[in-house]
Amino acid sequence: MARRDTDEPEDRGRNRRGGIGDARAFTPRGRTTRDGGSFAGSEPDPQAEAELQRRRAELRMVRGGRAEEGRPPQRLGRVTGAPSARRPRRADDADGGDFDVEEAPRRRTAAAGRGRPAVRADREFIGRTQAARAREPRRGDRLPAGRGRPQDRRQRPVAPPPDPPKMGEPRRRLRLATAVALLLFAAIGVRLVQFQLADAPAFAAQGLEDRLDKIVLPAARGAIYDRTGEVLAKSVEARFVAVDPELVKDPRTTAVVLAPLLGKAPSELEPLLQKGKQEVSGAPIRFRWLLRGLSVADAEKVRALNLPGVIVKRDERRDMPGEDLAANLIGFTGTDLNGLAGIEARYDQLLRGRNGELQYETGNGDLNKPIPGGYRRETVAQPGSSLMLTIDRDVQWQAQHILFESMQKVKAVWGAAVVLDARTGEVVAQATYPTFNPANPGAAKPEALADNATSVVVDPGSVHKAIVLSAALQEGVVEPDSTVKIGPSIKKGDQVYWDTHQFPEGTKITLPGLMAFSSNVATIKIADKLGAQKLYEYQKLFGLGQPTGIGVPGESSGQLQAPEDWSGTSHGSIPIGHEMAVTPLQMAAAYAAIANDGTWVQPHLIRQTIAPDGKVTEPAPPKSHRVISAENAAALREIMEAVTTVDQATGRSAALAGYRISGKTGTGSQVLNGKYVKGEVGSFIGMAPAENPRYVVAVFVKTPGVGAGGKVAGPAFRDIMAFTLRHFKVLPSTVKSPSFVTHY
């Protein structure tokens, strides 16, 4: 075996390219050293090396594989064979002997016997390779002096032969192309199916939509009736007149012709007929309203003129047969008949109904006419439901009329009158001064549009004393025949409270006398015994300081002071109706509880709801709760009769011949934005007949100066109550009022 240089790495011999091992490994027939000369000392032959590389490449192609880099190829004698272990390696295998060559001679002989020309080619190739190897220094030979050690073959980088290009695979490409084509056709097919089955209805519907004309079929707005079925508000068919300014040929002449029919001046109409541009887009203005709600007869006259650019079409308007009758309660609608105020706004969804629609197919261009037998669909309009109120038309009219005349006499700023059914809580009438015409609400002042009975907030004044006596009777602080020792005044905190009818110190005043002369001193002393907490609880039980829920938009809640918020003067002011805020309707409902044997019933306006098909629906029963006992309520009603019967009593102006009247006068102030408004609010609230009350009437009057309740509100109460009792045929009292002792 050849000597190995100790400086050379141990694995160098296994990776070298040279010697008979390499030649034998890469010859196609697996030749051995017996088939050629020795390679020792041979010089490398570039041509041989190139030929060797070419042979290697051919062998890779024949075997269908590639020799792994860094390891010698397998022996050629047997492709799948393993190195032979039957004989030891020979010395001449040292340079390339990692492979067994035992089988090579037999394969060579067999090939030679068949005379294959590849054997001769291999023999010549190996011969040339051995000659080249003979010129190379062998491993272990000494080099001449002065020369460096020849580099090992592995240290000389030899560019690996390029891998041969892969052969094309037509079958694979064909299969891929077929799959892509099938996928493409499948996608096209799916899309076609989608167009035909899924999208076709949508495209057809869009095409139909482009050929359709639509006409809105307005739904009639529900009517509003009084308790007897008389119409308070209803919708009637009308016409609107509009204009397309681009089509008007002579604006001035057109305005002159239209003015008499529309009830407007030509100077008002002419600017509307002039051409103009839209502010945002700059496009020509093609539509302007001229008038809405025109009567059908006048609209037909306008249509007969056949004026260029003038449009006349169906419309609807709200008709109020009573004009301003209950206007502040009912409210009004806009030009599109949407509720804007009052009951019209509160129950707008119920009253308005749902518009219908007529769709029909038309041609294009000059054939823009309905197509006979074409598409046609009509959605029938659903009229709104109607409301029947608790208001009585006649009582309402009289209450407004009486209130108007009374307010004119005292030069009142505003007034409010409420008529309640004491047993049911129904609002029979609710009048406001000043009022307005709902057919033209724009012409009214803003303060005339509100319902004063629910929106105005006042401190009630002495009408609150009935609340104090009710609580005191119910809590046993006083009895109906009790007396209170009083003087001309009383001090609470830093405030002195005086009586208008002053009595000497030590005078004993009865409860009827307290009410007849509206004694502040006696009321404050009773409230002291009752206590602030109890008084506050009864105020809430009577419904003060909270909305009644009557159903009128904008109802105020008022405000009460809790006992912990009272000051020193509050113990004097609150019992006599100051330092608190209520609405006239709240006080009327509190007196109705006294008239109804001590049971408070929620005031309400809606009596029935009438569906378009005539079905009648009753509303839910009103809320109610007991405040005082029936016995105490009856005792208090008798005590309050002194207000209208005792000589020099504050409410003599409210007395009504033939009927016993229980009530109370009051003088307070209006509260606006948490502050008192200059002037006084006089009031009178009473019930009749006192022995068995049927109705409660409350009148509040705001005057610019001094306005005692008995003077400014008493007469209006008397007249309204008189008409109400006669209208509902309430029999006069059969028993006279008792005689009262007022003081000792």
Q: How many helices and strands (H and E) does the chain possess?
A: 25, 23
User: For 461-475, how does the pLDDT look when each residue is reduced to its tens digit (9 = 90+)?
Assistant: 999 999 999 999 999
**Cα–chain center distance at 727:** 49
User: For 259-289, how does the pLDDT look when each residue is reduced to its tens digit (9 = 90+)?
Assistant: 898 888 888 888 889 888 887 777 888 888 8
Contact 355, 370 (CB under 8 A): no
What is the rounded distance in angstroms from the CA atom of residue 12 to the CA atom of residue 156? Answer: 13
Q: Is pLDDT above 70 for 20? A: no
Q: Is pLDDT above 90 for 327? A: yes
Residues 187 and 274 in one domain: no
User: For 199-251, how does the pLDDT look when each residue is reduced to its tens digit (9 = 90+)?
Assistant: 667 766 666 666 677 777 778 889 999 999 999 999 888 888 999 888 888 88
Q: Is pLDDT above 70 for 1? A: no
What is the rounded distance in angstroms from the CA atom of residue 475 to the CA atom of residue 473? Answer: 6
What is the rounded distance in angstroms from the CA atom of residue 214 to the CA atom of residue 379? Answer: 11
Residues 380 and 479 in one domain: no
H or E stretch at 511: helix 511-516
User: For 286-322, how does the pLDDT look when each residue is reduced to its tens digit (9 = 90+)?
Assistant: 888 888 888 888 899 999 988 888 999 888 888 888 8
Structural domain contains residue 210: no
The pLDDT score that the predictor gives to residue 9 is 41
Residues 342 and 457 in one domain: no
Q: Is pLDDT above 90 for 356? A: no
What is the rounded distance in angstroms from the CA atom of residue 48 to the CA atom of residue 67? Answer: 20
The pLDDT score that the predictor gives to residue 208 is 62
Banded pLDDT at 65 (limits 50, 70, 90): very low
Banded pLDDT at 5 (limits 50, 70, 90): very low
Structural domain contains residue 157: no
The pLDDT score that the predictor gives to residue 382 is 86
Give the domain range for residue 226.
217-387
Above pLDDT 70, what percent of the chain? 78
Residues 417 and 457 in one domain: yes
Q: Is pLDDT above 60 for 516? A: yes
Which residue, 348, 370, 387, sits at the end of a domain? 387
Nearest to 33 by CA among 114, 127, 113, 109: 127
The pLDDT score that the predictor gives to residue 293 is 83
Q: Is pLDDT above 60 for 114? A: no
Sign of the C-alpha dihedral computed for residues 637, 640, 641 and 642 taken in this order:
positive
Residues 195 and 333 in one domain: no
Residues 40 and 106 in one domain: yes
Banded pLDDT at 689 (limits 50, 70, 90): very high
Contact 16, 152 (CB under 8 A): yes
What is the rounded distance in angstroms from the CA atom of residue 392 to the CA atom of residue 400? Answer: 12
Residues 400 and 305 in one domain: no
The position carrying tokens 């400086």 is 7
Structural domain contains residue 7: no
What is the rounded distance in angstroms from the CA atom of residue 347 to the CA atom of residue 192? Answer: 54
User: For 695-721, how does the pLDDT look when each residue is reduced to its tens digit (9 = 90+)?
Assistant: 999 999 999 877 787 888 999 999 999
User: For 383-396, how does the pLDDT look when each residue is reduced to its tens digit (9 = 90+)?
Assistant: 889 999 999 999 99
Residues 75 and 51 in one domain: yes
CA distances from residue 371 to 97, 102, 356, 379, 686 in whole angstroms, order as listed: 103, 104, 21, 19, 71
The pLDDT score that the predictor gives to residue 37 is 44
527-533: long-range contacts (C-beta < 8 A, 24 or more apart)? Answer: 527/468, 527/472, 527/571, 527/574, 527/575, 528/571, 529/472, 529/477, 529/478, 530/468, 530/471, 530/472, 530/475, 530/477, 532/563, 532/566, 532/570, 532/571, 532/574, 533/563
Query: At residue 225, what are phi and psi to the nearest 5 degrees?
Result: -115, 160
Which residue, 83, 113, 139, sits at the end of a domain? 139
Mean pLDDT of 172-185: 87
Q: Is pLDDT above 60 for 144? A: no
Residues 383 and 487 in one domain: no
The pLDDT score that the predictor gives to residue 673 is 81
Which residue, 117, 139, 161, sits at the end of a domain? 139
| CATH assignment of the domain containing 368 | 3.90.1310.10
Amino acid at 614: G
Q: Is pLDDT above 80 for 479? A: yes
Structural domain contains residue 147: no
Structural domain contains residue 154: no
Q: Is pLDDT above 80 for 22? A: no
CA distances from residue 178 to 98, 170, 187, 485 in whole angstroms, order as listed: 50, 12, 14, 118
Banded pLDDT at 115 (limits 50, 70, 90): very low
The pLDDT score that the predictor gives to residue 99 is 40
Query: At residue 678, what are phi and psi to the nearest 5 degrees?
Result: -60, 140
What is the rounded distance in angstroms from the CA atom of residue 296 to the CA atom of residue 457? Answer: 44
Nearest to 513 by CA among 524, 528, 523, 525: 523
Residues 534 and 574 in one domain: yes
The DSSP code for 354 is B
Structural domain contains residue 160: no
Out of 11-25, 166-180, 237-251, the most confident range is: 237-251
| CATH assignment of the domain containing 512 | 3.40.710.10
Higher-pLDDT residue of 409 and 64 is: 409
Structural domain contains residue 519: yes
Q: Is pLDDT above 70 for 31? A: no
Q: Is pLDDT above 90 for 164? A: no
Above pLDDT 90, what percent of the chain? 44
Mean pLDDT of 516-522: 94
The pLDDT score that the predictor gives to residue 90 is 44
H or E stretch at 696: strand 695-703
Residues 195 and 225 in one domain: no
* Domain count of the fold of the chain: 4
User: For 434-462, how does the pLDDT look when each residue is reduced to its tens digit (9 = 90+)?
Assistant: 999 888 888 888 888 999 999 999 999 99
Cβ-Cβ contacts under 8 Å for 385 (sequence gap 6 or more): 222, 350, 351, 353, 609, 610, 611, 612
The DSSP code for 596 is T
The pLDDT score that the predictor gives to residue 440 is 84
Query: At residue 553, what are phi and psi to the nearest 5 degrees?
Result: -60, 145
Whether a cis peptide bond, with omega within 30° of 0, leads into 504 is no
Structural domain contains residue 3: no
Q: Which of 10-14, 61-65, 148-152, 399-403 has the lowest mean pLDDT?
A: 10-14
Three-class DSSP category at 19: helix
Average pLDDT, the chain: 81
Mean pLDDT of 76-104: 42
Q: Which of 40-44, 48-52, 637-641, 660-664 has the lowest mean pLDDT?
A: 40-44
Q: Is pLDDT above 60 for 129? A: no
The pLDDT score that the predictor gives to residue 73 is 47
What is the rounded distance in angstroms from the CA atom of residue 150 to the CA atom of residue 130? Answer: 19
Residues 381 and 411 in one domain: no
- C-alpha dihedral, 20 to 23 to 24 to 26, nearest 10°: 160
What is the rounded distance in angstroms from the CA atom of residue 337 to the CA atom of residue 158? Answer: 101
Q: Which of 139-143, 451-455, 550-554 has the lowest mean pLDDT?
A: 139-143
What is the rounded distance in angstroms from the CA atom of residue 507 to the CA atom of residue 596? Answer: 34
